[in-house]
Structure 1
Amino acid sequence: MNAPTPRGLLPGLLRTVRTYPRRSPLTFGYVVLLLLGHVWVENLLTADRADALRDHISTNLDNLHDHPVTALFGSALLFDGTLTEILSTGFGSTLITLGLGVCCCLAWAERRFGALRAAAVLLGGHIGATLITAAVILLALRHGWYPESVRQASDYGISYGAQTVLALAILAVPRWARLPWAAFVVAWPLSGGDWPGPLPDFTTVGHLLAAALGFAVAAAVALTAARRRRAEGRAPADVRR
């Protein structure tokens, strides 16, 4: 007689962790890369070199004008947060962006849509939100809504891409939870942002734009699926067989 199969939350969680690299290899590799990069910058580089690296890959206006490719892609290889200061707001940001956004939602997107499409959503959100935010900053500077120092501001990390994937994951939650999920995705960047003038600070703007991109992709996916179902429903019976 075979032993009964263990059931419950803990066995399911352990099984998910054990099969994670096989089921979501792109996400797993990206998370490992992010963790290695974090350890390298925070623990192996000197403070001056670490600050210089962060300044070089920050996606501010000056860097986007001087070396846009290095800034955009270099920024996507680090996360702006902490793994050790668990009582800080930075750790909460890490939990949302790296933990929920990348580890969970990107893995789900990879399993549902494939590795290339999931990567396209992540990078599209990261690059798209960054460039649109840059245009917003230029407009704000023209009207005096932001100080000139924003041109050299430090702004690096994965949070815009993670925010886009978080918004896309509205497709993964039950229908009754979609409105609360959307409210969470929009609300968390606003909870810690400043509002120096008619616009919130530029990082809050970037997160809201990234969320809008993710919701737009989710709406397009849902609309395409609905059209496909209607088309299949109108197909003749012999064609469906």
Structure 2
Amino acid sequence: MNAQPPSGPSAGTLRAVRAYPRRAPLTLAYVCLLLAGHVWLGQGLSADRADALLGYLSTNLDNLRDHPLRALLGSVLFFDGTLTDVTSTDFVGTFITLGLGVCCSLAWVEHRWGKWRAIAVFLGGHVVATLLTAVVIVVALRHGGYPTAVRQSLDYGVSYGAQTVLAIGTLALPRRGRLPWAVFVLAWPLGGADWSAPLPDFTTIGHVLAAVLGFGLLAVPAFRRQRVRAAEPLTVRTG
């Protein structure tokens, strides 16, 4: 008697996992790079060297003025969070940004529109949100909204790019689920915001700006059309 193939939600999940390398190879490679970098920072480098590296790659105001390209590109090679302390709020942030954002939403964008648009959307969200946040910081410093120490604050990771693709991933949901998802994407950064200053902490502002960028891209017609894949070759029968 032939065994019946598995069915139900678990079977669908298994098929999705098996198809993941084919549907989103770039995202898979990027996730592996992020995980390798996370292990290297935690296990391969001393605490002092890891702190020095992250301090150099931080997208704070001083680094953006001194070495902007290296800070913007280098900071997106690591994620700020934990994979082991599952009861902490940091793990929740890691699950949202790395799990839902990169592993799921970026993979969906890559499959729907191709790797080059996925790169452009993710890096564009990261860079534009970072620069807009820097403008907010500069204005806030002039009016006493932030302490001057914010110029050297540690700020690195994938979360701005993840926020952008999380917003774009709204299209992947049924219509009834899109509004609750949009509210979640905009609201979750506010849940851990630090309001010790007149403004929320600048990373919260950056997350909200990145989400707004993603939702703004949904208004672009090109982002509402799925890419056209190559047609299957026609077979001509004779005789």
TM-score w.r.t. length of structure 1: 0.90
Moved over 4 A (4+): 222-225
Matched, 1:104 2:104: yes
Structure with the largest fraction of helix: 1
User: Following the alignment from structure 2 to structure 1, what is the Cα–Cα distance between the partners of residues 17 and 89?
Assistant: 26
1:228 is matched with none
After superposition, give the CA deviation of every residue in 1:127-168 in whole Å (9 maximum; x if it has no partner): 000001000100000101000000000000000000000001
1:232 is matched with none
2:79 is matched with 79
123-132 vs 4-13, greater mean Cα deviation: 4-13
Q: Aligned to 2:218, what secondary structure does the other structure show?
A: helix
After superposition, give the CA deviation of every residue in 1:55-92 in whole Å (9 maximum; x if it has no partner): 01000000000111111001000000001111111111
2:19 is matched with 19
After superposition, give the CA deviation of every residue in 1:171-207 in whole Å (9 maximum; x if it has no partner): 1111111110011001100000112344211000000
Q: CA contact under 8 A between 1:163 and 1:211: conserved in structure 2?
A: yes
Q: Superposed, which structure 2 residues align to 1:92-171 within 5 Å?
A: 92-171=92-171
Q: CA contact under 8 A between 1:146 and 1:196: conserved in structure 2?
A: no
User: Following the alignment from structure 2 to structure 1, what is the Cα–Cα distance between the partners of residues 88 and 43?
Assistant: 19
User: Following the alignment from structure 2 to structure 1, what is the Cα–Cα distance between the partners of residues 197 and 33?
Assistant: 38
Instruction: State the Cα distance separating 1:18 from its structure 2 match.
Output: 1.7
Among all aligned residue pairs of Structure 1 and Structure 2, give the percentage whose two residues are the same amino acid.
65
Instruction: State the Cα distance separating 1:221 from its structure 2 match.
Output: 3.6
1:231 is matched with none
Structure 2, unaligned runs of 5 or more: 226-239
1:6 is matched with 6
1:188 is matched with 188
Q: CA contact under 8 A between 1:31 and 1:103: conserved in structure 2?
A: yes
The size of the alignment, in residue pairs, is: 225
Counterpart amino acid of residue 15 in structure 1: R
2:57 is matched with 57
Q: CA contact under 8 A between 2:218 and 2:224: conserved in structure 1?
A: no
User: Following the alignment from structure 1 to structure 2, what is the Cα–Cα distance between the partners of residues 39 and 190?
Assistant: 29
Counterpart amino acid of residue 161 in structure 2: G
1:207 is matched with 207
Instruction: State the Cα distance separating 1:8 from its structure 2 match.
Output: 1.2
Q: CA contact under 8 A between 1:122 and 1:165: conserved in structure 2?
A: yes
Q: CA contact under 8 A between 1:145 and 1:196: conserved in structure 2?
A: no
User: Following the alignment from structure 2 to structure 1, what is the Cα–Cα distance between the partners of residues 224 and 43?
Assistant: 47
Instruction: Indicate how the Cα distance of structure 1 residues 196 and 221 shifts in structure 2: closer, same or farther if over 3 A, else same.
Output: farther
Instruction: State the Cα distance separating 1:223 from its structure 2 match.
Output: 8.0
Instruction: State the Cα distance separating 1:2 from its structure 2 match.
Output: 5.1
Structure 1, unaligned runs of 5 or more: 226-241
Q: Aligned to 1:138, what secondary structure does the other structure show?
A: helix
After superposition, give the CA deviation of every residue in 1:6-53 in whole Å (9 maximum; x if it has no partner): 211112212211221111001000000000000000111000000001
Q: Aligned to 2:185, what secondary structure does the other structure show?
A: helix
User: Following the alignment from structure 2 to structure 1, what is the Cα–Cα distance between the partners of residues 100 and 124?
Assistant: 18
User: Following the alignment from structure 2 to structure 1, what is the Cα–Cα distance between the partners of residues 206 and 57?
Assistant: 17
Matched, 1:68 2:68: yes
Counterpart amino acid of residue 104 in structure 2: C
Instruction: State the Cα distance separating 1:222 from its structure 2 match.
Output: 7.3
User: Following the alignment from structure 1 to structure 2, what is the Cα–Cα distance between the partners of residues 123 and 222?
Assistant: 18
Q: Aligned to 2:51, what secondary structure does the other structure show?
A: helix
TM-score w.r.t. length of structure 2: 0.91
User: Following the alignment from structure 1 to structure 2, what is the Cα–Cα distance between the partners of residues 17 and 126?
Assistant: 27
User: Following the alignment from structure 1 to structure 2, what is the Cα–Cα distance between the partners of residues 59 and 37?
Assistant: 18
Q: CA contact under 8 A between 2:217 and 2:223: conserved in structure 1?
A: no
